[in-house]
Amino acid sequence: MKRGLRKVLTGAALSTMLFSPALLIQVQESSAIEQTVVTNPDFGVGQGIEWPKQVVAPYVDITAYSSDEELSNNGALNLAAVAQQTGQKFFKLGFLQARGIRNGRIDWAWGGFNGLSEIDNDEWQYEGIKKSIRELRQNGGDVAVSFGGLNSGAFWEVTQNQALLYDAYMEVIQGYGLTRVDYDVEAAAMGYEENLANAKAVKKVQEATGVEVTLTLPVMDTGLISTGLAVLQAYLEAGVDLTNINLMTMCYGSSVPDYAQGSLDAVDNTMVQLKEYYQRFMGTTLTTEQAYAKLGTTPSIGFESEAHPYFTATMFNRVVQHAKERNIGMVSYWSMNRDSKVDGGQGQVNNRYEFLNVAQRFTDDTPLPEDKEKPTIPENFKAELVTSRRAALSWSPATDNDFIEKYNLRLIGNEEVVERSTIDTRYTFENLKENTTYTVELTAEDRSGNISDKTTLTFTTLADNESEYPVWDPEKVYMAGDRVVYEGIIYEAKYWTQNNNPSESGEWGPWRQIS
């Protein structure tokens, strides 16, 4: 997962330059056994509490500076204010990273940034971070600290010396009064050997403190990827008691067209992997229910980038309901900054806390309050493209006091009525009749069944010979960029072609579909 600011790298691990490999191994092994005694630090943020077995815990980019007057503590997100407004009590703070080795210890800071640590407190934003933790705890909430993240700087990247890792984790856990920590293992930090060394240190920390440990890993719809499985293996071999294996149900790429369904599949497929790996590497037989209970799911809400679809609250609701049905251990998302709309609009979230409202259904067993407020009318309803056989329609999202469950479309024309529903803000009607006038009624519906007033759109399909582009002719030679119509669909030639049916072109053929 990402940080909102750019990281500055400082420091370097020099030990590998000072010893021969054999001697270094001996020194590291000796250090791993003879752990440094650390006096109990106290960073002045209070003491954490026991977390529920099932929990909603959004990620917070605690390094991202916020100037929102209502939700800012010296630039840090005001967690107590969020809790007071929403009832949300638990958060995961990302990311604590290492800047190198300094004076025989891991030099850590939030995001790896100068000024955001005990050793070089900037007396402003770092104090805001601590104030957010302290005030949240005073209001009955708690935080978990997440080590690692997408960018380089994981503790176990900087060193595999178990004594140094142990001391650093003990300092952070005791200083922040933590009862739960998270290891977000991504990108270059996923090596098996590095993670095995880290896991051994984590195991010793867990024995000393009883801290709960969650492990956050990248995933595809098929389950954990190979490097993620190797990391899981390392932690199991080291004997770490994992409260949750948290899946980054996000950023799948073009191979997974439906990110919501992909996230459901990821949970189900990883459950099977967990049963196998616990048996192989710990000798523990998990039931299906126990394996699901160890899982967490963390989508990236709203807008991530142009490479990924906008992850809507409706899509998230599918993830949450599936998590509830499967009785998994945790629902999270990236990030609370986006959902509270203090991210400068990067996530393009429509309504503050709309995703948190969905997430909280995971642990809410009370009946839903009666909701009689209907959604707003979808705006900007238009036909983006009309041919003789199809019409591509789009509209802007409606808003609601809760969230939009779906959009309903009613197509009237050619002496028939066709009704369709979609979670998206676009829909294409196909197999229409040429030269025919159609009317479409569009409404938004929320999860309580309240339906907005309708908006309507009328369009007329083209005659078969009326298209802007010529009908495909098998005898004609087409060059790159030439466009044709075939069965009401527009195609564009990718290169020289003749007598190649556009509808049979496929991904590697000479034609690509335009509409």
pLDDT digits (tens, 9 = 90+) for 302-318: 999 999 999 999 999 99
- Confidence bin at 402 (pLDDT 50/70/90): low
* Beta-ladder partners of 457: 440
Residues 175, 118 contacting (CB under 8 angstroms): yes
Q: Of the ranges 33-47, 184-198, 226-240, 299-313, which one carries the lowest mean pLDDT score?
A: 33-47
79 φ, ψ (degrees, to nearest 5) = -70, -35
Name the pLDDT band for 10 (thresholds 50, 70, 90).
very low
pLDDT tens digit string along 101-141?
Answer: 999 999 999 999 999 999 999 999 999 999 999 999 999 99
Supply the mean pLDDT for the chain.
Answer: 90
First to last CA, the chain: 35
The yes-or-no verdict on residue 93 having pLDDT over 60 is: yes
The closest of 33, 110, 34 to 74, measured between CA atoms, is 110
Q: Which of 137-151, 421-435, 458-472, 486-500 has the lowest mean pLDDT?
A: 458-472
Per-residue pLDDT at 485:
84
Contact 111, 97 (CB under 8 A): yes
pLDDT digits (tens, 9 = 90+) for 453-478: 999 999 999 887 776 788 899 999 99
CATH 3.20.20.450 fits 15-362, yes or no: no
- Whether the per-residue pLDDT at 32 is higher than 60: the answer is no
- In this predicted structure, what is the pLDDT of residue 390? 87
Which residues, other chains included, contact 394 with Cβ-Cβ below 8 Å and sequence gap of 6+? 380, 381, 382, 384, 425, 426
pLDDT at 503: 87
What is the value of pTM for the model shown? 0.69
Q: What does the pLDDT read at residue 213?
A: 99
- Number of Cβ within a 10 Å radius of residue 514: 14
User: Which pLDDT belongs to residue 370?
Assistant: 73
Residues 354-368 have a mean pLDDT of: 84
Q: Is the dihedral of CA 355, 356, 361, 363 positive or negative?
A: positive
- Percentage of the chain surpassing pLDDT 70? 91
How do beta strands 212-220 and 180-184 pair?
parallel
Secondary structure class of 288 (helix, strand, coil): helix
pLDDT bucket at 149, cuts 50 / 70 / 90? very high
Residue 469 has a pLDDT of: 84
Q: How does residue 31 score in pLDDT terms, banded at 50, 70 and 90? A: very low
pLDDT at 188: 95
Exposed/middle/buried for residue 274 (C-beta within 10 Å: 0-12, 13-18, 19+)? buried
Percent of the chain with pLDDT over 90: 80
Residue 14: predicted pLDDT: 24
| pLDDT for position 448 | 83
Res. 37: pLDDT tops 90: no
> 382-460 has which CATH code?
2.60.40.10
Domain ranges (residues) in the chain: 15-362, 382-460, 477-513
pLDDT at 40: 87
Which residue, among 467, 481, 470, has the nearest Cα to 512 in the 3D structure?
481
Q: 409 near 422, Cβ under 8 Å? A: yes
Please determine, for residue 486, whether its predicted confidence score (pLDDT) is greater than 50. yes
**CA distance to 236, 366, 515, per residue, from 311 (Å):** 33, 27, 24
Q: Give the separation between CA 17 and CA 170, rounded to whole angstroms.
A: 27
**Has residue 431 got a pLDDT over 60?**
yes
Q: What angle do CA 119, 123, 128 make, to 5 degrees?
A: 105
d(CA 233, CA 277): 7
Asked if the model's pLDDT at residue 364 lies above 90, the reply is no
Q: What is the DSSP string of 222-286?
A: TEE-HHHHHHHHHHHHTT--EEEEEEE-----TT-S-HHHHHHHHHHHHHHHHHHHHHHHH----
Q: What is the pLDDT of residue 369?
A: 52
Q: CB of 213 within 8 A of CB of 177?
A: no
Give CA–CA dist 337/334, Å, rounded.
8
Query: What proportions of the chain, in percent to the nearest 5, are helix, strand and coil?
Result: 30, 25, 45
Q: What is the pLDDT of residue 95?
A: 98
> May I ask the CATH architecture of the domain 477-513?
Ribbon (2.10)
What residue has token string 């759109």? 457
Segment 379-390 mean pLDDT = 91
Out of 80-89, 92-101, 418-427, pick the least confident.
418-427
The answer to whether residue 186 scores a pLDDT higher than 70 is yes
Contact 346, 333 (CB under 8 A): no
pLDDT band of 362, cuts 50, 70, 90 = very high
Mean pLDDT of 334-363: 95
